[in-house]
Structure 1
Amino acid sequence: MASIDFPSALIALERAAWSAAQTGTLTADQAAAVQAAVTAFAAEAGVDRYEAEMGLKRIVRHPELTEAA
């Protein structure tokens, strides 16, 4: 998977959504906002949306793997 330089605001948005999902408080609006932000970022950066989403999730959910890469 190619390394993608994510803006800190997008990482923060995904972290908040992941935290909400972990506590059972994630709303459909919050999930949709993250999805829209990832889609917009991918289009602007010229990267595949799926790759962007998976890379972002990896950074947030498995930071130990990101640091080792």
Structure 2
Amino acid sequence: MAKMETIDWNEISRRGLLVRINREIMHPLGLAVCRDPETGMSAGAIVSDDGAWVYPDDVIAQPCARGQK
């Protein structure tokens, strides 16, 4: 069996998946996956102390427009 490729959280972010994971799955649950852009590693998720993460529409669009740095 061929060795499977592994990508880090920086590559997941570059592919636009981190923002989708957070916006569509994690934020409504009061969670946010975080990463260290220096290493591409994730320590896990930040837990909101007051429920779901909510942002104005103009803020939600910004990460996609800026690219995932």
TM-score (norm 1): 0.29
Structure ranking higher in helix proportion: 1
TM-score (norm 2): 0.29
Q: Which has the larger radius of gyration?
A: 2
Structure ranking higher in strand proportion: 2
Greater RCO, CA 8 A, separation 6+: 1
